[in-house]
Amino acid sequence: MWDEAYKRRTPDNMWKPPRSPYNLLQEDHAFDPWRVLVICILLNVTTGRQSATVVDKEDIEKVIRSLGLFRKRAVGIQHFSRAYLEEKWTHVTQLPGIGKYAADAYAIFCTGKWDLVRPWDHMLIKYWEFLCGQEDLN
């Protein structure tokens, strides 16, 4: 079940998650799976995919300094971005820094396989329950 939910998004995937009353950041960035995953990486520890691999970690640190643990996060985002750009991964769970929270968000917001996951995060649960209540999705 989870194996299928966390598979890499295919180019023909047209899933567009509906807006909810919760206004989650992931809703605003669902068009770009890399962004959704970076948002989760940043939120979990509390411009563009390729640029994060070549930008100095000091530049990334400046942007995320206010979040705390900025050096560790900057290195983690670079490491994740390099792996994300490789063609080797088949499941989002294979990427460094991606745990259950980010993998669930990926399934919910990026691939449309929200019905194959059961999130643990309180805000993802709210959004998941919102999706369950949408008649046109069931």
- Look at residues 85, 105, 104, 109 and name the one whose alpha carbon lies nearest to residue 95: 85
DSSP string, 66-80: GGS-HHHHHHHHHHH
Angle at 113 between CA 86 and CA 3, to 5 degrees: 60
Q: Can you tell me the distance from the alpha carbon of 40 to that of 99, in angstroms, rounded to the nearest whole number?
A: 9
Give the residue from 90, 84, 126, 88 showing the smallest Cα distance to 105. 126
- Which residues are designated catalytic? 121
Rounded to whole angstroms, how far apart are CA atoms 13 and 37? 17
- CA 81 centroid distance within chain: 12
